[in-house]
Amino acid sequence: MKSAAFLLCVIALGMTLPAFAADSSGVQTVYLLPMANGLDQYLASRLAASGVFHVTTDPKRADAFFTDKVGEAFEQRLADLLPPAEGNASKDGRSKESGGSIPPSTFSRAKGTIFLVDAATRSVLWSAYEPSKNTTPVELNRTAERIVARLAEPGKRK
């Protein structure tokens, strides 16, 4: 009897967790930021071939961004790509001309982690840990293929 109650609790929890997942169903067009070892090029090729997302070379047209880094450096890169409409000040008050250095982020050290970040809200919609075994073109292509396969799995992107 206890195992049946436990099973029902697990099933109920499993049904409620997708409701809390970030919604990436509105994402159709993505822009890929440069990634370690040129993975962005392989990922763009695989995404375009699979039809999971449309890949754009214009960051202003993207619904979301693929990156292998998040944190202040990522935010600064987006600010450079998508400057705010009201002058040169970014939302944290730093001027683009100030040349202020960005402290290193521990988020950028996670080799093999890929993030899909919403362009409007800057929320991480999806992430995966898919490290390459080495940096050969064949292995980077396989890694990109695995990432796209994970994106295409039903229920993995809500």
Q: Which domains does the chain have, with CATH numbers?
A: 25-88+100-152 (3.30.160)
**C-alpha distances in angstroms, 158 versus 51, 60, 103, 114, 117?**
17, 24, 34, 17, 14
Quote the mean pLDDT of the chain: 78
What is the mean predicted confidence (pLDDT) over 44-70?
96
Residue predicted with more confidence, 89 or 64: 64
**pLDDT grade, residue 25 (50/70/90)?**
confident
Q: Which residue is associated with the tokens 């396969």?
A: 149
Which residues are CB-neighbours of 65 under 8 A, at least 6 positions away? Answer: 30, 31, 32, 33, 59, 78, 116, 117, 119
Predicted confidence at residue 153, as pLDDT, reads: 84
What is the mean predicted confidence (pLDDT) over 83-91?
59
